[in-house]
Structures are given as C-alpha cells and as structure tokens.
Amino acid sequence: MAYSFPEEVLEHVFWFLSSDKDRNAVSLVCKSWYEIERWCRRRVFIGNCYSVTPEIVIRRFPEVRELEMKGKPHFADFNLVPEGWGACVYPWVTAMSAAYPFLEEIKLKRMVVTDESLELISKSFRNFKVLVLSSCEGFTTDGLASIAANCRNLRELDLRESEVEDLSGHWLSHFPDNCTSLVSLNMSCLGSEVSFSALERLVSRSPNLRTLRLNRAVPLEKLPNLLRRAPQLVELGTGAYSAEIRSDIFSNLAEAFSVCKQLKGLSGFWDVVPAYLPAMYSVCSGITSLNLSYATIQSPDLVKLVSQCRNLQCLWVLDYIEDSGLEALAASCKDLQELRVFPSDPFGAEPNVSLTERGLVSVSEGCPKLQSVLYFCRQMSNAALIAIARNRPNMVRFRLCILEPRAPDYLTLEPLDTGFGAIVENCKELRRLSMSGLLTDRVFKYIGTHAKKLEMLSIAFAGDSDLGLHHVLSGCESLRKLEIRDCPFGDKALLANAAKLETMRSLWMSSCSVSFGACKLLGQKMPRLNVEVIDERGPPDSRPESCPVERLYVYRTVAGRRVDMPGFVWTMDEDSTLSASESGNKPNVWGLRALMPSILHLAELIVAINILMNKEAKLLFSLFHV
Amino acid sequence: MSTLSREVKNCVVVMSSEESSSYPDDDSELELGLGLSLGGGKAKAAPPPAGGGGVGCDHQVVGWPPVRTYRMNSLANQAKSPVTEDFFSTFDECKSKNVALDKNNYAGNRTNNTTNEKGFQKKSLFVKVNMDGIPIGRKVDLNAHTCYKSLARALDDMFRTNVAVGARRSNVEEQIVVAATRQPGRLLDGSSEFVLTYEDKDGDWMLVGDVPWEMFLSSVRRLRIMKKAEANGLAPKIS
C-alpha cells in the first residue's frame, strides 16, 4: 500500500470508476489520490445548485466534461415555490465558459435558463453535444435557435416538460444542413408548429437518430414521412394522434410503423382517436415503455393496446384505464416494473372513473417485478396497502396520492398508519415514499423504525405532533430529501435533530408550525446549513418570533449564504442575533448542553462525539416534549 | 407581494373554476354517479380543506393534488366533449382543425360513451372566458352545464368577485382573476352593460343563446364577455 504506482497507472484505474460515490471514496484515501482523481473527474452531479459555487467546483475539478445539476426544490412542481425564487444557471454558464472550453454535456432540472445562457452555451463550448432541460423555464424558442445554429456536433436536445416561451417554430430551421450528428430530439413541450419540411430534412440527415419526441402540432397524417426516414428509431413521441378517419391514412401509418423494428418506447398521444391505435400494433411486441398519460381514451381501447405489449416494463397512463384495465395489465404484462396512473379529473368532487385501490392491488399481485409506483386514486384501505406490501417486498419507489387530503381507510374509517407501516416494513429496499390520506404520528414511528434505506420522503396533511417528525429524522438513516407540507410539525423535533440535517441534501417544510425563532436558532447553531425562510407576508422579524413561517427550506452547503435571494427569501445567518423573548431568557440550546452533564447519568457521557450529539438531541427532545 | 389575509392567500385557483362542484341544479346528474361509485362518499368523513370547494367560491389548496402544471395544462387543452363530432387540438392554436368525422366509422369514443356501464362519466369541456377590462382570463367547463341559464349564472359569479391574489406564473390558465370592483348586476339578462359572445369553429363571433345548447357545445371555441356597445347593437337573447 505504501508503494506508489505511477500516477498514470492510478489515473488509468480511476478512469473505470463512473460512480460518484466510488470517486468520492477514492479521493479520501490520501492526498495524492485526491489530486489524481480530481484531475480525471469528467462528470459532476450537483443535486442542489446552491450547495456549492461554480468557483469551488472549477477549482477542484478542472477537467469536467459533463455537468448535471438540479435547482428548485421538488415542491416547486406544484406551485409551492414563488416565481423568481432563484436557481438561475447563468452564473454557472459564465464561469464554465471560461473554465471548461471542452464541456460537452449540460443536464439541468428545475432551473431557470435564459436565452442569454443558451446563447452563451452555444458559443462557448466547441464540442458541445448534449443539452437536457428537464422542467426548466425562462427561455424562448430564440434560445433554441442559437443552440441549433451554433452547436456543430449536437447529439441531444431534450426539453422534457420545460416551460418554453414559444415565439415561433422557426428555431428548428436553424440546424445547419451539415448537422448530421443528432441522436435525440425531444421537443414535445413546445406548442408552435415547426416547418415540417425542415423537420423531415433534419430527420433524413440524422442517421444516428434514436429518440424523436414530436410536439402536438405535428399532424398524424405526416408521421409516416418521418418514420420512413428514421426506421432505426428506438423511442418515438407522436404528435396529436388524430386525423380524419380515412383508410389511406391508416394504412400509410400502419405500414410506416411496421418498418420501425427497433422501437422500444412510445409517448405523445394527445387527442387520440382510438380508430388509429391498431396502426401501431405491429410494434407493440417490442415496446418496453409506453407513456399514455395524455391519452384521453377509455378503458377498453387502453386494454386492447396494452395487452398487445407483452414486454412492457414501464407504463404511464390516465385513470381512464380503471380497475378492469389494470387487471388486464396484470394478466398480460409480466415484466412490468414501473406503473404511473395519473388523475384525469383531479379537481372533480366526485369520481369520474372506476379506479380504486383494487387496480393497484391487482397489479401488485400479477406483476412480480413491479418496483416503482405512482398512483392517484380516490380511496384506499389498510387491507389493500398490506396486500400490496406483502405482494411486492421488492418495491423501491412507492408514491400514493389519495386525492382528498386526510382521507381515512374507506372501509374502516381508521387512519392508514398500518397500511403504510406494512409498506415500509415489508419493502426493505424502499428508497422513495410519498404518502397521503389520514395519518397519525404512528405511521412515522413505523417509518423511523423500518425505512432504513429510505432516501426521499414526501408528507402532506399528516401527523399529530412533533413526535412524528422526530421519528423520521432520528430513525431514517439514509434520508436525503424530506419534503413536508401542511403538517403540525414545529420547532422541537427540528431543533433536536439539527445535526441530522447536515447529513441530508435538503428539508422543505411549508404551512407547518415552525416559528421564526426556531429558524434563527437553527441558522445560528448550524453554520453549514442554509436556513431560508420564504415568506410572502414581508420580513419575518416584522412579526413575533413565535409566529410560524410560511415556508422553510434548509439545505447543507459549502457555498455560504445565497447572494441572489429575491425579496421574499430570508436567510438565517450565524451572526443574526436573537431578539430577547418575553421572559428575558434567551432560549439557547448550547446553554442547555452545558447543563446536560449534571442531569444525565454519567455513563451516557462516555460516547463518541457524533453519537453524543444524537443522544443528547433525543434527551433534549424528551425534555421539551410534554 | 401585497399583504393579504392568510386565508385568502391559501386559496388559489390553480386551473379554473371547478364549476362541477357548486351547482345545486346538477345534483340530479351527480346522484347517478354517486349511486354507482365505489364508496367514495365515505372518504369525505374528514373535514376537507381541499377538494371541490365551497359554493360560489373557488377555493382550492395550492399544489394539491400534486399534479404538475405541465400535465394539467396538457389535459385542459385536450377538451373533448363526447357530444361533439368535431374536436379541437388546443384552444391556443389559431388554426382550427376542422375535421369532419364519419359518424359511422367513428366507433371508438361514441360507443364507449353509450355502452359504458361503469356509471356516469363526466368529461370536461373547458373553454377560455375573457371579460373586457380584465386582463386575466378564466376557464369554464361547459359540460358542467346543461343550459344557457346555468352557464350565465356561473359566469356572473365568476367575474363578479373582487378577490385579488398575486399571480404565480404568467401562464393564463393558472392566473387568478384580478378584478377591480365590478358593478353589481346580473350578467346577460339585458340589465348588464355586458353581453356574452362566443367564437365558433369558423372563427366568427356570435351572440350566445341563438342556437340550441347542444349545437352551441359542438361549435364553441371560446367565450368573451363583451361590452354591449361593442356588440354591434345586437340585443342579448338569453331567455
């Protein structure tokens, strides 16, 4: 071990390490390994853009070729993060344009990307190949035009679910005639019609095109023209799947599909006219991924289609499929791994389809490989959840959304604690869980006890007291992301488990009962956390300290406090002074720690430092808890 | 960021007014659905802060259920009425896709709707509604009404409120109506200074109420509450 290999040898070995975890471990072995590794790291993943600065990244990793980064918290997807919150990529792009001239890939999620950023990207990186903008916003089709025009070797342009200001479809025509490198194009989120002939020509000259996701404006009758020019397609997203009912259109479409022997994934399907679905049947046996979540067709048509896809691994569908359709799915698609059922009428007061817990239970029974579920429904029972848990101990991601908040077990009217408890107890590999329905502190006890591999937990309208939050923070060893809304969790559990927060990527709490005072305390106590209060009512110190904050976002960082906060975000600094409370005593957690020895049994003191922190946290908590 | 009462702040109309939840008139139709549904009623035991909302007030919990805006917009723009033979791709496109379907061949949707034994299926037909003088439009589900009267009343309620809440996004479908105090008075009964008009599938603007309701449903693309003076002096014909 003491012998040193030549650096080149080590570098060559490290080259085979692709996982960030492995590379991070390697860089901790010794200084020389740290140095060697950092010079040969090509891919950097930043889960929270505010956890680090571009300068720090560039300083440590000078030769990065691929950057993947996430910005806004997940709940931004549901309008819980106000407009203008942040996560702008521009400062990153400017820094990288100077430092990484050979950058090839940028993949962003939930970030604000401006046309200026896109233009700068297109002009700064000569060998730029891959741009993936997932759930991003802030740019227009003009920005896309710069990318198309200037990135000579562009391989991937994927705009999945981004909000783009659609000025015109003209951007597509900016791809130069000598651009033949395209492998993947996803423009499904765009509204405007692009020039079809430009699209045809682009597809024709892209022999490596594997993924083509069209937007709704591309008419069905013209789809065959594209398919014929790209028979090597592996993933296709159709445009609007509707046309006049004409046999010539049908046969043209059917013939074009039959040529695409490599197709594995299908999506799109807006405005489906069921009569045209059979045109696809020739490819169904090869399909492994099917996204019908925009297809407003009824169960019988869905079943006919899905039962043709015997090799299906991933299905996204609307609740029009109903219990009967899911039963049919369970019978035909034995390789199914992922199922997502979305609500067709999420705000309707009454059920519009016959989709209940029974559908999910059938799939859990019939599909032995099912490991990832997202299911919206209107009723659930503990019995069903227990059945699902017993059927599928291999579950990895389980997200259940019962549309009515706090809905109890519809059979017994009890909370759904035992049901979700069964899920976490049986599914030992569970990494992600979202819960809904009526839930008490008990379910959190089960989660804290059993969910040892859980990395992400989403909670809404659940729990009775701080004990619930405490169970989660103290029990879930692998927890990285915790997002909570509308739960009666307050200061105690948060403060008692402050150290835990440094082991996680982030914590989001909105419409809970965390006071401004506690936020300040947390910010003071934990310098390596950014404790940010989002409150649209004005500065938090214009209200009493005991007043709960609207939203709290806590995340670990080496970047220090944000410098780009909008007017409704306040950060709790280390040096912010606590205003005196009414009693004149400053609630000071550190002071209480000093008191601990005289209170605790002496034996409990003889422990390692980090264990001491947690233990004392539990004791602190028990002091506060009545 | 204006300071507002907390209660109001928490009520955000995410998509549109959920008309289906607040019509006493439509109870009889809903009964059918309830009768055949699967015990959905029991789930309502818990006091719902979310859900259908109160009468005359578009209260919904922000961000619940957790469906992404992107998905909601896509679904909303796919309004497809089972009654109509024509259909629209989106209401935002200027071109209307006038596709006439052969009634006999169009087996799919129609058959499904008529032979559906699962119970009452209510599909939405959301159309945009703009009112002169108000920058932010709304959406209304036409299939939640069975006659002009109930539609007029719903629109009256929708545009008469004085709720002002900050908009979160610029997307029209998500914005909340920001309205100055409106003159009280019922819309569309001739006493108001406004008339209700609609744009049909040919792009022409017509007065609402001239044709049978079903025919109206099959040709309407969007609505506009227009100042009487601008409506070329035509008298409203809502009875």
* Chain A: closest CA distance from residue B54 (Å): 11
| Res A598 pLDDT > 50 | no
Chain A stretch 51-70, residues whose beta carbon is closer than 8 A to a beta carbon of chain B: none
Pairing of strands B194-200, B205-207: antiparallel
Chain B stretch 154-173, residues whose beta carbon is closer than 8 A to a beta carbon of chain A: 166, 168-169, 171
Q: Is the separation of the CB atoms in B25 and B150 below 8 Å?
A: yes
Token pair 């869905």 in the structure block, residue: A302
Q: How far is CA A168 from CA A151, A217, A411, B109, B111, in A?
A: 20, 12, 53, 33, 39
**H/E/C letters for each residue in A558-595?**
CCCCCCCCCCCEEECCCCCCCCCCCCCCCCCHHHHHHH
| Res A488 pLDDT > 80 | yes
A211 in reach of chain B (CB within 8 A): no
CB contact under 8 A, B38 and A354: yes
Of A82-91, A323-332, A413-422, B10-19, the one with minimum mean pLDDT is B10-19
Return d(Cα B116, Cα A174) in angstroms, integer.
Answer: 49
A320 in reach of chain B (CB within 8 A): no
Return d(Cα A470, Cα A466) in angstroms, integer.
Answer: 6
Task: Please list every residue in chain B whose beta carbon sits closer than 8 Å to the beta carbon of residue A434.
Answer: 66
Return d(Cα A22, Cα A19) in angstroms, integer.
Answer: 5
What torsion do the CA atoms of A373, A377, A379, A384 make, to the nearest 10 degrees?
-20
| Res A129 pLDDT > 80 | yes
How confident is the model over A175-194, as a mean pLDDT?
94
pLDDT tens for B17-40 read 333 333 334 333 333 333 332 333
Return d(Cα A583, Cα A598) in angstroms, integer.
Answer: 24
pLDDT along chain B (239 residues), means of 10: 41 37 37 32 34 38 88 74 32 32 31 31 68 78 81 79 35 36 48 82 84 84 84 52
CB contact under 8 A, B63 and A80: yes
A575 in reach of chain B (CB within 8 A): no
- Average pLDDT over chain B, rounded to whole? 55
Chain B stretch 91-120, residues whose beta carbon is closer than 8 A to a beta carbon of chain A: 92-93, 99-102, 105-109, 112-113, 116, 118-119
Length of chain A: 626
pLDDT at position B158 is: 77
Q: How far is CA B73 from CA A33, A319, A320, B135, B174, in A?
A: 51, 17, 18, 19, 9
Q: Which of A188, A133, A125, A193 is nearest to A157 (CA)?
A: A133
Of A160-169, A419-428, B209-218, the one with minimum mean pLDDT is B209-218
SS3 (DSSP) at A390 = helix
Name the CA radius of gyration of chain A, rounded.
Answer: 27
* Chain B: closest CA distance from residue A294 (Å): 7
Six token digits for residue A545: 């300290």
A381 in reach of chain B (CB within 8 A): no
Nearest residue, CB atoms, A350 vs list B12, B37, B99: B37
pLDDT at position A443 is: 98
Task: Please list every residue in chain B whose beta carbon sits closer than 8 Å to the beta carbon of residue A410.
Answer: 39-40, 42-43
B220 in reach of chain A (CB within 8 A): no
CB contact under 8 A, B90 and A297: no
A86 in reach of chain B (CB within 8 A): no
Interface A-B, measured as beta-carbon pairs within 8 A, has a size of 199
Q: How far is CA A329 from the centre of its chain?
A: 26
A454-472 as b/e, with b when 16 or more CB fall inside 10 Å?
Answer: bbbbbbbbbbebbbbbbbb
Return d(Cα A106, Cα A139) in angstroms, integer.
Answer: 15
pLDDT at position B187 is: 55
Pairing of strands A506-510, A551-556: antiparallel
Given pLDDT bands bounded at 50, 70 and 90, which one contains residue A359?
Answer: very high
Q: Is the separation of the CB atoms in A268 and A188 below 8 Å?
A: yes
Closest residue, chain B, to A537 (C-alpha): B3
Q: How far is CA B31 from the centre of its chain?
A: 21
Burial of A496 (0-12, 13-18, 19+ CB in 10 A): buried
- Average pLDDT over chain A, rounded to whole? 91
Residue in A238, A350, A508 to test binding to B, most B beta-carbons within 10 Å: A350
Length of chain B: 239
Given pLDDT bands bounded at 50, 70 and 90, which one contains residue A611?
Answer: very low
A250 in reach of chain B (CB within 8 A): no
pLDDT tens for A88-127 read 999 999 999 999 999 999 999 999 999 999 999 999 999 9
Token pair 């012998």 in the structure block, residue: A3
**ipTM of this complex prediction, to 2 decimal places:** 0.84
Q: Which residue blocks in A214-314 are alpha helix, DSSP H?
A: 223-229, 247-259, 281-284, 299-306
Q: Which of A378, A341, A160 is nearest to B70 (CA)?
A: A160
CB contact under 8 A, B65 and A401: yes
* Chain B: closest CA distance from residue A23 (Å): 35
More confident residue, B58 or A425: A425
Return d(Cα A252, Cα A196) in angstroms, integer.
Answer: 18
Q: Is the separation of the CB atoms in A44 and A57 below 8 Å?
A: yes
Six token digits for residue B82: 């089972």
Of A7-16, A273-282, A595-604, B97-106, the one with minimum mean pLDDT is B97-106
Burial of B24 (0-12, 13-18, 19+ CB in 10 A): exposed
B138-141: strand order across its sheet: B138-141, B126-131, B220-227, B194-200, B205-207
B60-78 as b/e, with b when 16 or more CB fall inside 10 Å?
Answer: bbbbbbbbbbebbbbbbbb
Closest residue, chain A, to B99 (C-alpha): A244
| Res A407 pLDDT > 90 | yes
